[in-house]
């Protein structure tokens, strides 16, 4: 995912596909939430071992 600033304004692309700002932000937040959930699962597994 990336955001590019040019003379026409902000363009948001995901995997080369131009998307709206809202779509970009929703997908970015969803990706962050997945990473956070995975980190919580790993941490829970560590605590189970202790």
Convert the pLDDT of each residue in 5-50 to its tens digit. 555 567 899 899 999 999 999 999 999 999 999 999 999 999 999 8
Task: Give the C-alpha separation, 6 to 49, whole Å.
Answer: 51
Neighbours of 19 (CB within 10 A): 16
Nearest residue to 26 via CA among 38, 14, 40: 14
Cβ-in-10-Å burial (0-12, 13-18, 19+) of 43 comes to: exposed
- SS3 call for 45: helix
Q: Is the pTM of this model over 0.75?
A: no
């Amino acid at each position: 995912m990336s955001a590019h600033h040019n003379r026409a304004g902000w363009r948001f692309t995901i995997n080369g596909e131009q998307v709206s700002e809202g779509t970009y932000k929703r997908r970015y937040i969803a990706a962050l939430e997945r990473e956070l959930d995975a980190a919580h699962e790993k941490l829970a597994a560590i605590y189970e071992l202790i």
